[in-house]
Structure 1
């Protein structure tokens, strides 16, 4: 086995995240590692919306997006015959990424970042930055395509 045995690649399904996935797959190939694909449904961001009967439709849409994002990771890994363990969880993205990495003894987290600075970062926050600051597991950030 190589230096890395379990590599976590969180995905949000956004355009450009495939670049981070490909980095994670390349590392998994080089180290004979298993890839862990994680999607965090940030249901807290929908907490203020009037839900009742509409919640089921939103939940189904979020789950469908999650499954599509995980399927993309699995497809890229499958091209290189890399084993993938997949999970979809609910919660705060940064907290759940850190929790998953630690609970599953991952050796590395590879995740995309939009590279925002200044006011954008202050207003939007950065999941990647929160993971870097909160994780006991090393984090490799990959700037995703389409940035300004």
Structure 2
């Protein structure tokens, strides 16, 4: 096994998925890549009184902090971990990253950031199972 992708979004479910993916990565000597996907905005930025550049800068800063914290929490001997920020629909972006030839597994949490978000955006987990070009492990 060469590389494992794990989607993180700051939720408890994604933290559990990252821990599981890290354990698998260490066991098989694989590299772990934590992926945060900045979702498309539902409203234009000017609805918030901000420019597109300001919104993108804030999202990027949030994503980098979240990923940095996740990397620190997972730090253990033998774990090779990096992170990636992507933009777009979460499931589609993860599936796109999974196309890379060195990716062998994608790990996702069974629940995202909240019931309302899941209702409106659909389940990333369910979508990934259907569109991923690589096997998907769903963490509970």
TM-score where L is the length of structure 2: 0.83
Taking a change above 3 Å as real, the CA distance of residues 121 and 54 of structure 1, as seen in their structure-2 partners, is closer
CA distance in 2, matches of 1:109, 1:61: 27
Determine the structure 2 residue equivalent to 1:146.
Answer: none
Structure 1: unaligned runs, 5 residues or longer: 144-148
Partner of residue 105 from structure 2, selected from 103, 108, 113: 108
Determine the structure 1 residue equivalent to 2:50.
Answer: 54
Determine the structure 1 residue equivalent to 2:35.
Answer: 38
Give the CA RMSD over aligned residues: 2.5
Aligned pairs, how many?
136
Structure 2: unaligned runs, 5 residues or longer: none
Partner of residue 67 from structure 1, selected from 64, 69, 75: 64
Where 2:41 maps in the other structure, the secondary structure is helix
Q: Does 1:95 align with 2:105?
A: no
On the 8 A contact 2:110/2:139 being kept in 1, the answer is yes
Partner of residue 80 from structure 1, selected from 62, 77, 89: 77
CA distance in 1, matches of 2:103, 2:37: 17
Partner of residue 24 from structure 2, selected from 19, 27, 46: 27
CA distance in 2, matches of 1:17, 1:80: 21
CA distance in 1, matches of 2:71, 2:6: 11
Taking a change above 3 Å as real, the CA distance of residues 122 and 60 of structure 1, as seen in their structure-2 partners, is closer
TM-score where L is the length of structure 1: 0.79
